């Protein structure tokens, strides 16, 4: 019985050691930012804003048509 307990303890220790090494490697690796070529500012672009306004207007018109025919 003690042999099985020792084997289980050894296996669990090995797994714990392996996971600890993985965490240390992940913490030591520094990720470099990838340049996408896009404007990465927090300000919304004028083209993006214009597109969102167009989509909202189209959805509003669709809703008006749907609800006007429901009467």
Q: Give residue-wise pLDDT tens across range 26-35.
A: 888 776 766 6
User: Is residue 55 assigned to a domain?
Assistant: yes
In a domain, 54, yes or no: yes
Q: Is residue 17 part of a domain?
A: yes
What's the pTM value of the predicted model, to 2 decimals? 0.40
37 is a domain residue: no
For residue 36, is it within any domain?
no
Residue 22 included in any domain: yes
pLDDT score, position 65: 85
Q: Tell me which H or E stretch contains 53.
A: helix 46-69
Domains identified in the chain, total number: 1
pLDDT of residue 58 exceeding 80, the answer is yes
Least confident of 5-14, 32-41, 53-62: 32-41
Please identify which residue in the block is written with the tokens 């300000």: 43
pLDDT of res. 31 = 66
What lies within 8 Å, CB to CB, of 39 at 6+ separation is 45
Degrees, nearest 5: CA angle 26-27-33:
85
**Domain housing 9:** 2-29+45-69
pLDDT at 69 (0 to 100)? 67
Whether 40 maps to a domain, the answer reads no
Question: Is the residue at 35 inside a domain?
Answer: no
pLDDT at 56 over 70: yes
């Amino acid at each position: 019985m003690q042999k099985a307990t020792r084997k289980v303890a050894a296996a669990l220790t090995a797994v714990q050691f392996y996971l600890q090494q993985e965490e240390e490697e992940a913490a030591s690796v520094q990720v470099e930012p990838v340049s996408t070529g896009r404007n990465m500012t927090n300000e919304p672009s004028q083209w993006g804003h214009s597109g969102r306004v167009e989509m909202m207007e189209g959805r509003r018109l669709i809703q008006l048509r749907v609800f006007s025919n429901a009467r």
